[in-house]
Amino acid sequence: MRLLFLGSGSAFTVGADNFHSNLLLISETGRKLLLDCGSDIRFSLHEADLCHRDITDIYISHLHADHVGGLEYMGFRALFDPDCQKSNLFLSQDLAGELWEKTLSGGMRCLEGDIATLDTFFTVYPIKPKGQFLWEGIQFNLAPVIHINTGYFVMPSYGLFFEIAGVKIFLSTDTQLCLDVVGSYYEQADVIFHDCETSQFPSPVHAHYHQLVTLPAAIKQKMWLYGYQPGSLPDAKRDGFCGFVKRGQTFEFL
């Protein structure tokens, strides 16, 4: 099983040096699970010598465009390319309705002679919050994270905790640093892929490098950082991390 970072940048990554932090799990049988599908997915797939036809399955963590903006492209290609099959779409059930009604339906609902739904383009598998789904014999557990708290409600957003070949992996997706919410995943995981803002002007909705660097050494030594902004980066290895993930970097789990 291979985990390929099609990109490792933030929502504001520009140019071909990096793309949105969308990941691809590639099984020995050839199935490919896309972990989030940002608006630059056609370009990041192309740079990896792949295309829409290669994606058999998609997981969506939350509804920001760098995580769902490529679904219109993927859906229309599946519908109108005779050589392309519909992808299975896994996402928390509290995202499924809003994904269609508030994100995709404006451009995808009207077809010639028909009115479409999300099921027109994808085979949808809604998952209970804090539930799980199976893919290629691997159980993926949804891990609720705090990305944006409006003061009235928390925007639904889910990382993943899963195990491949005996290696326990926590993928944070976009999250603030909230130890009371995700601290147990840090402890359990053998490898952590963590959202990391590096902006000079920190936002309140992502874990910033200056926060992550204060974590215990035992946590940092198993943590890879991704989702960062363009520009120079701190010396993550010197500070005790595994490092910053680069676009195109692959992790093998045997």
Does pLDDT of 192 surpass 90? Answer: yes
Share of the chain above pLDDT 90, in %: 94
Which domains are present in the chain? 2-252 (3.60.15.10)
Does pLDDT of 245 surpass 90? Answer: yes
Instruction: Please give the Cα distance from 27 to 45 (Å, whole number).
Output: 17
Query: Per-residue confidence at 65, pLDDT binned at 50, 70, 90?
Result: very high
Whether pTM exceeds 0.95: yes
For residue range 216-241, what is the model confidence (pLDDT) as tens digits?
999 999 999 999 999 999 999 999 99
- pLDDT in the model for residue 147: 97
Query: Per-residue confidence at 181, pLDDT binned at 50, 70, 90?
Result: very high
Residues near 36 by beta carbon (within 8 Å), at least 6 away in sequence: 20, 21, 22, 23, 59, 60, 61, 66, 67, 68, 173
Instruction: Please give the Cα distance from 11 to 47 (Å, whole number).
Output: 18
Does pLDDT of 55 surpass 80? Answer: yes
Residue with tokens 């990896």: 48
- On whether the CB atoms of residues 69 and 39 are closer than 8 A, the answer is yes
The DSSP secondary-structure symbol of 156 reads P
Question: What are the angstrom distances between the C-alpha of 4 and each of 31, 70, 143, 144, 245?
Answer: 13, 18, 21, 23, 10
For residue range 8-32, what is the model confidence (pLDDT) as tens digits?
999 998 877 899 999 999 999 999 9
